[in-house]
Chains A and B, each alone.
Chain A
């Protein structure tokens, strides 16, 4: 833990992620006008520049942008958790099975994975959302559907290496069954790379969901989702330029935080990778 904190970029990552989690936990208390996040209307206040009363200005409904951005953190948190969680739940077992069992199981799993990996994720997600219809839930489902193959690839390689490990051989020799070897010896040793990737993917999943929101296929206004806010803000460029700054900056800080944290975790779990 101390080694993690000595690395300045990992520390910055931890601080950014902690700040993000604080917004998620205490958003309604931090936001000065929590009602503005649910689509309150104050036309008298619309499109005001940043001021002491409204730090990031107000939007076209007169809502406080700071409040909306702060409360929007929760949406991003559950979006990130849902996409990464589903991807891990599907991808991790398949990857471990493919790498550990080999043979036809491996071939079958890896061929299906390869197909998913041959279309850029965001494009495939866009196609799926187009088929399902726009909306945040569909966006999350589509992104989860394109996200799991990365975990299969990662853990297949890891399990393949573990299959030859001496302690796995020893477990087999003492009469452990295959499910027991998988659960007690292989899976725990896959946790390191899994945690690193999941940490980074939290950020990238949030970015991808915001991207879908930005092109109008994810969350819909007035939901306080960062990408969807940017989509509306874009219509008020360039005269009301401040509108689009805050939501994007929060996406940036969050993605950067999870990324640096993942990097720090990777260096900590595998000291050889430190340079």
Chain B
């Protein structure tokens, strides 16, 4: 297990290096002029030249790359023209909000997806199975921004059941930051009412974010469970009188777990990408909204900062999934 972890960490460092090269290429080598981008939309030629010199953009590319890496090592990601803050400071505020939303969505997608998948597999061919199939195929095809607007119309405008957006109402003072995640902080600071309000605000965005992921997990769970439930050892266990629930949870689900975990890992990245859309519609103050508002106002440094942050988040999630794999299936530790 230790060798597996060491190898996996080495791979993580390699990917991180690759990510840094990739963002460098996008921000320095791509046709766009980084000095013009960094100076913002209203800069004069003189300001652009000054910035070019200040950031070493008039030096050879390899030197620029070293300067870039050195700045990254100091967590210097540049400044946001719009907020006026250092990008790293902005990320520290927005990253927890995205993480909170994604964790809620992923938790819901996994629980609902696995449960519905098992149910569909047991009732194969029945009405529940057909309903699950429709959910599975439409869930990955539905545009997140469209379903988000429809749910807002229904739940927030028409029925007035849920807030239309944001993380907390303006009138409610957010809890003093501890982790940066509002729901968790409210609970930790002993303000359950604020935590409930924040959770209610997160319901719609988390649901929209979860939908494609839920659909994929449902589908793969159903597929795997049907296969495993037909296996000889499951039949043997049934014949020996093992309780049906135990057969499903202990025998079948455990053996179906690796492909399900693989799907969760794969979908985590997709979900991080979708935050860009969902946070925009629900005005959720996270990395996605930060990246979008910065990109549409030609504020370049925050976009690259958010890209790096989301990339690192995705790498860590992939690492976590790989470790879970190895725990679920010992054979994977050696290969």
Give residues in A with beta carbon < 8 Å to B: 9, 111-112, 114-124, 126-134, 203, 207, 210-211, 214-217, 227, 230, 234, 237-238, 241, 244-245, 247-249, 251-252, 255-256, 259-260, 263, 275
Contacts and interface: CB of A to CB of B under 8 A. Distances in A.
Given A126-B292, A134-B296, A119 B311 contact: yes
A131 B146 contact: no
B295 A123 contact: no
B184 interface: no
21 contacts: A115-B22, A118-B15, A120-B273, A122-B273, A122-B277, A123-B272, A126-B292, A130-B298, A131-B30, A131-B300, A132-B30, A210-B143, A211-B145, A215-B276, A215-B277, A230-B146, A234-B145, A238-B152, A248-B145, A259-B137, A275-B223
Contacts of B31: 131-132
Main secondary structure of the interface of B (DSSP, over half): helix
Given A126-B291, A127-B304, A251 B143 contact: yes
Contacts of B187: none
Nearest to B222: A275
Contact of B269 (A120, A128, A207): A120
A120 B310 contact: yes
Contacts of A251: 143, 146
A256 B138 contact: yes
B23 interface: yes
Main secondary structure of the interface of A (DSSP, over half): helix
Contacts of A227: 145
A216 to B, nearest CB: 5
A115 B18 contact: yes
Interface of B: 14-15, 18-19, 21-23, 26-27, 30-32, 37, 133, 137-138, 140-147, 149-150, 152-153, 157, 223, 226-227, 269-270, 272-274, 276-277, 280-281, 291-292, 294-296, 298, 300, 303-304, 306-307, 310-311, 314-315, 318
Contacts of B270: 120-121
A214 B137 contact: no
Given A120-B311, A238-B153, A247-B146, 15 more contacts: A112-B18, A117-B269, A119-B22, A121-B273, A124-B22, A126-B295, A130-B295, A132-B30, A132-B31, A133-B298, A211-B143, A215-B292, A248-B145, A248-B150, A252-B146
A131 B37 CA distance: 8
A198 B207 CA distance: 29
A29 B294 CA distance: 41
A131 B273 CA distance: 18
B315 A9 contact: no
Contacts of A217: 295-296
B272 A120 contact: yes
A247 B146 CA distance: 9
A251 B314 CA distance: 27
B21 to A, nearest CB: 7
A115 B307 CA distance: 13
The 8 A-B pairs of least Cβ separation, nearest first, read A248-B146, A115-B18, A120-B273, A122-B273, A256-B141, A130-B295, A255-B141, A238-B157
B25 to A, nearest CB: 10
A127 B26 contact: yes
Q: In this complex, which of B26, B150, B153 has the most chain A Cβ atoms within 10 angstroms of its Cβ?
A: B26
A214 B140 contact: no
Given A118-B19, A131-B32, A133-B32, A211 B277 contact: yes
Contacts of B272: 120, 123
